[in-house]
Amino acid sequence: MTQKVALITGVTGQDGSYLAEFLLKKGYVVHGIKRRSSLFNTDRIDHLYQDPHVDGRNFILHYGDLTDSTNLTRVIQKVQPDEIYNLAAQSHVAVSFEEPEYTANADGVGALRILEAIRILGLEQKTRFYQASTSELYGLVQEIPQKETTPFYPRSPYAVAKLYAYWITVNYREAYGMYACNGVLFNHESPLRGETFVTRKITRAVARIALGLQDCLYLGNMSALRDWGHARDYVEMQWLMLQQDKPEDFVIATGVQYSVRQFVEFAAAELGITISFEGEGEREIGVVQSVAGDKARCKVGDVIVKVDPRYFRPTEVETLLGDPTKAKEKLGWVPTTTLQELVKEMVVADYASAQRDELVKRAGFQAYDYHE
Ligand code: NDP
Ligand code: GDR
């Protein structure tokens, strides 16, 4: 049997890494598009790296960018993929208010560039296309929980760009009979999550506070409610969406919702720290109530969480809760990781990394720290 060939844009990101690993285990030849960067940017996929000087590789990287259609067309022509997973994006909602035009170009028109490349190259019947759509499309929520038929109301340049990508995917499916579909995925996290997304920011900070490397965690809207799952579970659904008889769009979510504040409490609890929150709005603080075990060095009464309004967004998405019934029925979707398990895995990884930093600091080196 000939091996299936997949092309992943955004292969250096959180989902790209899990998906590449998943497809390689399935026996695929996996090609990935990575951006040129002045520093190495392949940390998340270094464990999959194969020496380009050795024959018979099944994991191959190409330079490229979603804003460059010449590049995308050439890579797709060379790779002749059976499946394309378009995961690349400027994926940070807050940053999209700072870089709206770039976000529109990469996240919106980027999807069009790939779809057109498939068409120009005459691959409409061969190449299946997955678009990384998002629960951010629901924005100012019109219905709770949100499902495939819930109306969209995007609330950020990121979400508006992704709305274009969503509809251009549907349009190419209907206009040209392409196998193209949207995975409307709710937030999914992991130890590989970017450090400036709220979950990773929290688990990293809690670990560093416990070890005395950081005093305080500054957050924005702690009342925001999200439906958080594990990225490892979600990439399997991305693949399954491309294995159906006909292309359809699916919501992937856990169906359970927590606040950012609760996420902080759970993460601190993993290290034996109990926090209580006092005050309201910009004056809200998180105070240590008790410390158990030997993992944390902070003291009762320490203020370890504060609000910094710079993290508020001009328009916020207050509540997201997905209804994954369609995916359960048609894809056999079962969210396997609970939020508590996810938090634990992230805290354990960040604590191990903070321990390394602490050792370096104790040995007399200046520990590098960067807050965002
Ligand atoms: P990440 O931010 O971790 O990864 C994004 C990837 O896209 C990185 O590899 C990044 O490269 C790459 N990228 C960014 N801009 C460009 C560009 N112009 N050209 C080529 N590559 C680019 O995101 P996730 O892995 O978390 O998410 C994957 C996709 O799923 C994204 O499209 C995101 O918007 C979407 N999504 C994510 C959800 C989540 O909760 N994680 C939920 C719903 C949708 P580099 O490493 O160089 O920065
Ligand atoms: P989100 O994820 O915007 O949902 O987009 P993020 O983790 O950035 O924010 C979640 C919620 O937490 C609130 N928040 C903060 N967020 C950040 N980043 N930093 C803070 O300090 C902070 N304090 C409070 C936010 O206001 C928000 O309400 C993610 C991305 O992965 C998108 O690409 C994806 O499409 C959606 O999830 C589904």
Q: What is the rounded (10 degree) CA torsion for 173, 178, 179, 182?
A: -30
Q: How far is the CA of 138 from the centre of ligand 2 (A)?
A: 14
Distance CA 4, CA 30 (A): 9
Whole-Å CA distances, 337 to 12, 117, 231, 322, 344: 23, 37, 10, 16, 11
Find the catalytic residue in 85, 158, 166, 172.
Answer: 158
Distance CA 119, CA 330 (A): 28
Determine which residue's CA is closest to atom 13 belonging to ligand 2.
221
Type of residue found at 20: A
Q: Is 90 in the pocket of ligand 1 (CB under 6 A)?
A: yes
Q: pLDDT digit of tens for each residue in the chain (372 aa)?
A: 789 999 999 999 999 999 999 999 999 999 999 999 999 999 999 999 999 898 899 999 999 999 999 999 999 999 999 999 999 999 999 999 999 999 999 999 999 999 999 999 999 999 999 999 999 999 998 999 999 999 999 999 999 999 999 999 999 999 999 999 999 999 999 999 999 999 999 999 999 999 999 999 999 999 999 999 999 999 999 999 999 999 999 999 999 999 999 999 999 999 999 999 999 999 999 999 999 999 999 999 999 999 999 999 999 999 999 999 999 999 999 999 999 999 999 999 999 999 999 999 999 886 566 656
Q: For the whole model, what pTM was predicted?
A: 0.98
Q: Between helices 69-79 and 110-120, what is the axis angle to 10°?
A: 50
On whether ipTM exceeds 0.90, the answer is yes
Q: Is 119 in the pocket of ligand 1 (CB under 6 A)?
A: no
**Which residue, chain included where needed, has tokens 């990287």?**
61
Q: Report whether 195 contacts 44 (CB < 8 A).
A: no
158 catalytic? Reply is yes
